[in-house]
Structure formats: C-alpha cells, structure tokens
C-alpha cells in the first residue's frame, strides 16, 4: 500500500498508520469515536489548528493524558488522547499549527503506543461536547485528507494546510430548520 500525503496531521515528517478507523473498528461492529493513528514510537504530537487550549489534563474516561484545542475562527476542535505525559500546554494557552502539544503514548484505556484523535465542529468559544454519539461525529480522516481505513499509511510534510474540500464539512442544521429560522427573522414570529 502506498503512503498517502496528508493535508494535515498531528505528526510532522513522520510516517504514521491508521490503526483503528472511525466510526467503526476493524470488526465493522464496534463503534469508535475517533481515529487511532500510530508512528510506532513515542513521537511528538503537534496542533492541527491555530487557536487555544480548551482542556488539558488526565482524563478518567479512558483517554489518559489528553488535550483539546479549538480554532477560534472556525470552531474546529480536536482531542488528542493517550499522550505519554501530561500535555505541554494548559487551558487558555494559545496554539498554532505545528506547535508541539505532547508525545504519543499509551495512557488510559490503550493497548499500545498510538494517538487517538477526535474532531468536533463547534461554535468558536463553545466547550467540547462529551455526549455526541460516536456515529454522529465528523471523521478526522476527512479533515486530515487521508483514507479512513485501518492500515492506511500517511505522512504530513508540515506545510500549511489547504482548506478541506466542500462536502467534507457536515451541515449542522436540516434545510427546514434553516428555512424556519429565516421565516422567524422576517416575521419576528416565535415557533414553539
């Protein structure tokens, strides 16, 4: 299998492998809330957004040492989990694309060295939503520009990313909701 060139990734100039896809693991039955990727060693983990840190600590829910960053313009937010040590940045700190956040590890509920990455599309400034069903989460592989299949190998060269292709972003409202909102604004009518 050829090595894909990622649009962006939390590893720079280091080949990595998708070890568990999203939203289903290799068995095709078990749901998985993010994308597991691994370089096979304890390599530096870098931010995929310019923004700030929303969360940075040990997580008792199985993520181990983890950090969440948010792009304050787009709201794109990423959770990086199973870091070897506590993250290098603290809540409220600014981050830029390519800035080191920690080291790939195997803390929390983990079976080997890897990085678990999740993506949420929030309004800038909103907190991470821990309750979004796994099946409804946007696919990290789409943001990274790689194939969402276990065994995929990729590398990111560290160059500034090109914006994601149209269609890789999910619409946050059904058309009828958008239409109802438009009517409400025009008529100043409240729908119950």
pLDDT at residue 167, as a whole number = 55
Encoded tokens for 149: 């299949």
Q: pLDDT tens digits for 114-153? A: 999 999 999 998 999 999 999 999 999 999 999 999 999 9
Would you list the domain boundaries of the chain? 3-187
CA distance 93 to 103: 18
Long-range contacts of 127-135 (CB under 8 A, 24+ apart): 127/54, 128/54, 128/55, 128/68, 128/77, 128/79, 130/61, 134/22, 134/23, 134/31, 134/32, 134/33, 135/23, 135/31
Q: pLDDT tens digits for 143-184? A: 999 999 999 999 999 998 766 555 555 444 444 444 444 444
Which pTM was predicted? 0.83
**Counting Cβ atoms within 10 Å, is residue 139 exposed (0-12), middle (13-18) or buried (19+)?**
middle
Encoded tokens for 139: 């696919």
pLDDT at residue 163, as a whole number = 63
pLDDT at residue 175, as a whole number = 44
Class of domain 3-187: mainly beta
């Amino acid at each position: 299998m050829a090595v894909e060139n990622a649009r962006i990734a939390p590893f720079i100039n280091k080949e990595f492998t998708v070890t568990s896809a999203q939203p289903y693991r290799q068995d095709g039955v078990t749901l998985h809330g993010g994308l597991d990727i691994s370089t096979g060693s304890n390599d530096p983990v870098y931010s995929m957004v310019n923004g700030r840190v929303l969360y940075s600590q040990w997580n008792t829910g199985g993520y181990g040492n983890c950090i969440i960053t948010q792009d304050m313009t787009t709201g794109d937010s990423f959770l990086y989990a199973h870091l070897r040590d506590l993250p290098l940045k603290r809540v409220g700190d600014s981050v830029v694309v390519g800035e080191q956040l920690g080291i790939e590890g195997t803390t929390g509920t983990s079976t080997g060295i890897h990085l678990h990455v999740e993506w949420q599309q929030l309004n800038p400034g909103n907190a991470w939503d821990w309750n979004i069903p796994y099946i409804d989460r946007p696919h990290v592989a789409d943001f990274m520009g790689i194939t969402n299949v276990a065994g995929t190998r990729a590398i990111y060269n560290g160059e500034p990313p090109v914006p994601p292709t149209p269609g890789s972003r999910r619409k946050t409202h059904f058309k009828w909701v958008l239409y109802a909102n438009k009517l409400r604004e025009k008529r100043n009518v409240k729908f119950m």
